[in-house]
Amino acid sequence: MPKIVNHSERREEVVEATRRVILREGIEAATTRAIAREAGYSNGVLTHYFADKDDIMLSALHLSHRHIVERLRGKLAGLTGLAALRELLLDNLPLDDERAEESGLEIGFWSRSMTSPALHQAQRAEAEELRYLVRSLLGTAAEAGEIATGEDLDDVTERLLALVDGLSVHHLLYPDRLGAGRLERLLGAELDRLQSSSS
């Protein structure tokens, strides 16, 4: 009698372990062995739930995004327009250890995505969701008269998203130059500019 196992639960368990390993030791240290050990299973178990390592890594990326979305859900509750946007973008900055690790994971996937179509595809899809959310909040904010109307909102969206990722990378690479406090202040100022330029 084979033991009945909830496939998706077990997958999730392994993917969580993968995420933890990547966050803790970097994407290169995430070997199948390290993942299996972290998950508390043997090496061989991975075979049953994943096609191959790419499958695992892709799922780990997806999970990381879901984590971020979960955290955001709480923070955005009750907020709309510019206030929500501010919360959203600040949450995407590596302002504490947890988010620094998340950014590190994301950056690790960037380079991999450029040579792996599957990863690229996944990354693109999930990035689009974020873009759409930012764009929507900007639209709401504009309608509410919270921000200036001179600029194209799609352009603003791209600028803000690029700024968040650029600042994140620079914080991780050059922490002396760009500490967490300054990071926050720089992004805040950019958001302030959205308002001030309307006045």
Residues in contact with DNA by CB under 7 A are: 1-5, 7, 10, 29-34, 41-48, 52-54
Q: How far apart are CA 67 and CA 18, in angstroms?
A: 14
Residue 5 contact, options a second copy, DNA, none, Cβ 5-8 Å cut-off depending on partner type: DNA
Q: How far apart are CA 115 and CA 109, in angstroms?
A: 10
Residue 123 contact, options a second copy, DNA, none, Cβ 5-8 Å cut-off depending on partner type: a second copy
CB of 25 to a second copy, least distance (A): 6
Q: How far apart are CA 18 and CA 12, in angstroms?
A: 10
How many of the other CB atoms lie within 10 Å of CB of 190?
Answer: 16
What distances in angstroms separate CA 145 from CA 77, 89, 91, 155, 193, one per listed residue? Answer: 21, 20, 24, 18, 14
Interface residue with a second copy, options 34, 79, 148, 163 (CB under 8 A): 163
Q: Does 167 bind a second copy (CB under 8 A)?
A: yes
CB of 183 to a second copy, least distance (A): 9
Count of all residues that appear for the chain in the document:
199
Q: How far apart are CA 63 and CA 51, in angstroms?
A: 17
Output 114 or 189, the one with its CB closest to DNA. 114
CB of 171 to DNA, least distance (A): 27
Q: Does 26 bind a second copy (CB under 8 A)?
A: yes
How many of the other CB atoms lie within 10 Å of CB of 99?
Answer: 18
SS (HEC) of 25-63? HCHHHCCHHHHHHHHCCCCCHHHHHCCCHHHHHHHHHHH
Binding mask 99-138 for a second copy (x = CB under 8 A): -----x--xx-xxxxxx----x--xx--xx--x-------
CB of 162 to a second copy, least distance (A): 3
Q: Which residues bind a second copy (CB under 8 A)?
A: 2, 25-29, 44, 104, 107-108, 110-115, 120, 123-124, 127-128, 131, 151, 155, 158-159, 161-167, 169-170, 172-174, 177-178, 182, 185-186, 189-190, 193, 197
